[in-house]
Amino acid sequence: MGTSSGSNINHQHSSKMLPPRQQPRPGSLQTSLSLVSSEHRLSPDAQEPRSNSDNVHESPTESASSQETWPTADAVTAKKMENGKIENDCPEQSVIRRVSSADKITLRDIARERVDVISEKMHRLPDEFLDELKNQLKAILEGNGGSQNREEFLILQKLVQSRSDLTAKTLIRAHRAQLEILVAINTGIQAFLHPNISLSQTSLIEVFVYKRCRNIACQNQLPADDCTCELCANRNGFCNLCMCVICNKFDFEVNTCRWIGCDLCSHWTHTDCAIRDGQICMGSSVKSGSGPNEMLFRCRACNRTSELFGWVKDVFQHCAPAWDREALMRELDFVSRIFRGSDDPRGKKLFWKCEDLLEKMRGGQAESTACRSILIFFQGTM
């Protein structure tokens, strides 16, 4: 069973997908790519004992999806106080005051005005003013202003996405900062505004017109691996190497049960999305096609199934020894929710084992003890 997808640029396909989202490397597995931190919380139901026969498709209301943004910038240095007055030595503000009102442009101007008109204006503006525009958009994308920022972003995005003149041909004439802003608005990803991210003009244009993956850690041309499936052909900007086929988002988690990879078509799905969407359920054995049912994952991209017990076993045997306490509890909770509705003996025992270990760890059991216990459990299964 394929284990988990990742933001790997050199993702390789094989008859059996590598556990989880890793590149082959002698002696150890790849650790998590942590360009963006994702918050993971245990399901509220993990706080109380529960039966594996209830709520088969239960999962958190929010998708286990990506935070497709760059980490928040450092706080601005405090203003200096001298002789009882505030001394403002911020160069951006002094430059902005020298820009005439006729030359100033706004984010909405960039979102709605012709590319060549805005480009010409931006070439006349100082870099400090352009940096301030990008900082304004960063603040909007970070969402710290609440609903007001959200509404402003939706306005900007609607303005950009409703235009028919923003093509690869016209965007060649865009100012560099203008193009970065347009891409950030279109994708909702503030990483394109980050000073340490420097993609070529061609790459930015390809991201905007959905010919290159918007995940900066991936950046594969689309469709990835020249995939001809209906999903890759018809979903703008979708990358089968790093995005969930259900929520269309990516993140930077590897070595985890958070993602499920299809053995057959090599597309990836967030586990939470699969649970919520009913893609995890009981079915006939994948190996024999008959006999007792087992818990299966049905891939939305190819509509074929893969078994889940062996996948979970592979993930834990390869990765559990490297997990810290929080990660181990999170992974046990993922597995508990996957197998909560299991009817087969192995699946039931795995559910009960995860629930038991979660309860013991909440009571103070060391993660090393819990890890050893679950690995011994898997060693005793076929």
By DSSP bridging, strand 305-307 and strand 293-298 are antiparallel
Residues 61, 151, 111, 138: is their CA dihedral positive or negative? negative
Cα(337)–Cα(123) distance, integer angstroms: 55
User: pTM for the whole thing?
Assistant: 0.71
Tens of each residue's pLDDT in the chain, 382 residues? 444 433 333 333 333 444 344 333 333 333 222 223 333 333 333 333 333 444 333 333 333 334 443 333 333 233 333 334 334 444 444 444 477 777 789 999 999 999 999 999 999 999 999 999 999 999 999 988 788 899 999 999 999 999 999 999 999 999 999 999 999 999 999 999 998 888 999 999 999 999 999 999 999 999 999 999 999 999 999 999 999 999 999 988 889 999 998 988 889 999 999 999 999 999 887 665 566 789 999 999 999 999 999 999 999 999 999 999 999 999 999 999 999 989 889 999 999 999 999 999 999 999 999 999 999 999 987 6
Angle at which helix 115-124 crosses helix 176-187, to 10 degrees, equals: 130
Angle at which helix 127-142 crosses helix 147-161, to 10 degrees, equals: 110
Cα(237)–Cα(231) distance, integer angstroms: 10
Cα(59)–Cα(66) distance, integer angstroms: 16
- Nearest CA-CA partner of 168 in 193, 204, 199: 204
Cα(134)–Cα(105) distance, integer angstroms: 12
Instruction: Answer whether the bond into residue 49 is a cis peptide, omega within 30°.
Output: no
Contact 249, 68 (CB under 8 A): yes
**Residue 133: partners with Cβ closer than 8 Å, 6 or more residues away:** 105, 106, 107, 110, 177, 181
Contact 257, 14 (CB under 8 A): no
CA atoms within 13 A on the CB side of 32: 19
Q: Which two tokens stand for residue 215?
A: 């995940």
By DSSP bridging, strand 268-270 and strand 280-284 are unpaired
What is the residue extent of each domain of the chain? 104-209
**Residue 334: partners with Cβ closer than 8 Å, 6 or more residues away:** 256, 257, 258, 271
CA atoms within 13 A on the CB side of 352: 9
Burial group, residue 215, by CB count within 10 angstroms (0-12, 13-18, 19+): buried
Cα(156)–Cα(108) distance, integer angstroms: 6
Cα(308)–Cα(293) distance, integer angstroms: 12
